Amino acid sequence: MILVVDVGNTNMTLGVYDGEELKATFRMMTKTPRTSDEYGVMLNTLLNTKGITTQMIEGCIVASVVPDVMHSLTGGIVRYVGVKTLTVGPGLKTGIKIITENPRAIGADRIVDAVAAYEKYGGPVLVIDFGTATTYDLVTAEGHFAAGITAPGIRISSEALWSQAAKLPKIEIKKPKSILAQETITSMQAGLVYGQIGQTEYIIRKVKEESGLPDLKVVATGGLGRLISDETEEIDVYDSALTLDGLRIIYEKNRR
């Protein structure tokens, strides 16, 4: 079994694979400061709830966009799980060639998503991750990471509304029954959700137009990806495990 860890700005998602089968998943908040001992104890506890012992784990791979947590996290994995970690970054084989102007500036999570989308669905493919930010990344038929678009995520937009406008409350992010809202909460939900749907559809159409790839396959992932993908025909596939699968695929490419 291998442990895969995706460290995002808001949450940390962990998975355990037995071969290609995802046996268990866990989530932790990223922004909570923890020592390596705290990470180690939490990992052991989480694994044990699924009947998995640390002795079953033979390797680990981590993708992170939050450098500050890496020392404690990897230290906890080494000390309590007993395996060294591969970290997604320069020098690791991915099977994807980055041809943007500054390849080192591409986040590890975006590389992982691109690898998974290309390996699972082929290219050309546009992969959309609805996370803290909403990212759109184009991978060509040759497996080249060719372009990326970054937009504020739905939660960032919602937090901006209630933190900057004194009379706007915190709300649950969900699609209201109608866009014709008649009170504050549903009006905010309508603006956030339908606004994201509109943005998504426009960017997809524009990418297809400028890339000259009208039949481009579109794959979505991320916490709120299901909400958006269910509301548009522009997204072909929603894959909740895309990032974890990408980590597993990269681990397999580098295990020797």
Hey, which residues are catalytic here?
109
Which bin fits 35, alpha (ψ -120 to 50), beta or left (φ > 0)?
Answer: beta
**Which DSSP state fits 169?**
P
Sequence letter at residue 143: G
Exposure letters 15-36 (e unless 16+ CB within 10 A, then b): bbbeeeeeebebebebeeebeb
Give the C-alpha separation, 241 to 211, whole Å: 27
Q: How far is residue 240 from each of residues 104, 119, 125, 222, 225, measured CA to CA in Å?
A: 26, 15, 16, 6, 8
